[in-house]
């Protein structure tokens, strides 16, 4: 099985190469440190599986590189291997065409098995990632208004309702109303949980 490693950290690539090299049936055909390099290497080396990080510094990211790779004729299977597990990251990778999503704390043997499974055409998901995708499919998306996003962004910065009201030039009661509506849409009951939920959905930074 031919594998392309994509990660902007040389130490991570070296560790993955060493792990994969311990299996006689696996050949690491190339490494890439950026999204652009990943796309070019996938075209030139024709791997069976690409292990793709999501955050790759400047240039296109892992999700964008994945979309370009899988759009080619007879594309390899792309398995995302990352430390990021927010709903927004997961959805972008899946929508880009990734065949799997694993976290970097995955057990080495599970990682190897997942690479082989992906090569066989199977979908491989970290158990927690799979649960979160399932829960997200069960609930309707939270359609926050622009004002609710603005208020939650200021909450995330640590501002009080009074400070938010002053910055937005509205009453404190209006701020509370926006928060109550956001809580309902996000299915939470406090400010902290609302910020976490909105971040997981990629609606605030």
Give per-residue pLDDT as tens, 85-101.
Answer: 777 788 888 889 999 99
pLDDT digits 0-9 by tens, 65-90: 999 999 998 999 999 999 887 777 88
65/41 Cα distance (integer angstroms): 11
- Give me the long-range contacts of 190-195 (CB less than 8 A, separation at least 24): 191/155, 194/152, 194/155, 195/152, 195/155, 195/156
To 5 degrees, how large is the angle CA 44–CA 70–CA 39?
40
Is residue 140 scored above 60 in pLDDT? no
* pTM of the predicted model as reported, rounded to 2 decimal places: 0.68
Comparing 115 with 95, the larger pLDDT belongs to: 115
Topology annotation, domain 2-137: Rossmann fold (3.40.50)
Region 146-200: CATH code: 1.10.10.10
The helix or strand, by DSSP H or E, that contains position 86, with its residue range, turns out to be none
| pLDDT (tens digit per residue) in 28-70 | 999 999 999 999 999 999 999 999 999 898 899 999 999 999 9
CATH 1.10.10.10 boundaries in the chain: 146-200
Pairing of strands 49-52, 77-82: parallel
| Portions of the chain given CATH number 3.40.50.2300 | 2-137
């Amino acid at each position: 099985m031919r594998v392309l490693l994509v990660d902007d950290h040389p130490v991570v690539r070296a560790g993955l190469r060493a792990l994969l090299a311990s299996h006689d049936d696996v050949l690491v055909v190339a490494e890439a440190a950026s999204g652009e390099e990943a796309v070019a290497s996938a075209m030139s080396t024709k791997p069976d599986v690409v292990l793709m990080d999501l955050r790759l510094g400047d240039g296109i990211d892992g999700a964008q590189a994945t979309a370009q790779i899988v759009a080619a004729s007879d594309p390899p299977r792309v398995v995302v291997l990352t430390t990021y597990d927010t709903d927004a990251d997961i959805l972008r990778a899946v929508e880009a065409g990734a065949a799997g999503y694993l976290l970097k704390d995955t057990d080495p043997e599970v990682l190897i098995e997942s690479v082989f499974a992906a090569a066989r055409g199977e979908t491989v998901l970290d158990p927690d990632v799979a649960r979160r995708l399932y829960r997200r499919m069960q609930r309707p998306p939270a359609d926050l208004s622009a004002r609710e996003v603005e208020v939650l962004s200021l909450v995330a910065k640590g501002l009080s309702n009074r400070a938010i009201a002053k910055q937005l030039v509205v009453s404190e009661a209006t701020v509370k109303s926006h928060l109550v509506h956001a809580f309902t849409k996000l299915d939470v009951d406090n400010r902290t949980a609302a910020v976490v939920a909105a971040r997981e959905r990629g609606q605030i930074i």
